[in-house]
Amino acid sequence: MNLFFGAALAKALGDAQEKMDKEAFAANREKMVTGETKALRDQVERLCMLNQAMWELVSEKLGLTDADLEKKAVEVDLRDGKLDGKMTAHPVRCPQCGRVSNSRHKKCMYCNLEFEGTAFG
């Protein structure tokens, strides 16, 4: 084996090893992401089931209807200023006491002033 061939072979082996390492890393990562995604999906499904059970219990005990729930959902959805099915939290300054609360709350957590619709923020 001449010197040039030996060096070329060593480089080819090194490259092949590096390629295999990268592929193994990518496969491991994909397996991990798939596992995390499945765990999150399972959690969401469990939360949906518990949410449904909670709603059925509350509606039976308090005589509330799906229309009541829908109305409340729209009210809560609009607290962040957007009707988008999400509750994006952002800081809101209370017009009464000037302190900063979170947009998820219906009232100022310091002075209890009830925030109105989207008029704050």
Is 92 among the residues that bind Zn ion (CB under 5 A)?
Answer: no
Is 102 among the residues that bind Zn ion (CB under 5 A)?
Answer: no
Is 111 among the residues that bind Zn ion (CB under 5 A)?
Answer: yes
CA-based R_g, the chain, Å: 28
One-letter amino acid for residue 47 of the chain: L
Q: Please classify residue 92 by burial: count the beta carbons closer than 10 Å to its beta carbon, then call 0-12 exposed, 13-18 middle and 19+ buried.
A: buried
Task: CB nearer to Zn ion: give 71 or 107.
Answer: 107
Give the list of residues 6+ apart from residue 72 with CB closer than 8 angstroms, or none: none
**With CB under 5 A as the contact rule, which of the stretches 9-17, 30-38, 67-75, 91-99 interacts with Zn ion?**
91-99
79, 92, 103, 108: which one binds Zn ion (CB under 5 A): 108
Give the list of residues 6+ apart from residue 89 with CB closer than 8 angstroms, or none: 80, 102, 103, 104
Is 25 among the residues that bind Zn ion (CB under 5 A)?
Answer: no
97, 100, 107, 121: which one binds Zn ion (CB under 5 A): 97
Kindly state the smallest distance separating residue 96's Cβ from Zn ion, in Å.
5
Cβ atoms of 97 and 110 closer than 8 Å: yes
Residues of the shown chain interacting with Zn ion in the complex, contacts defined by CB under 5 A: 94, 96-97, 108, 110-111, 113
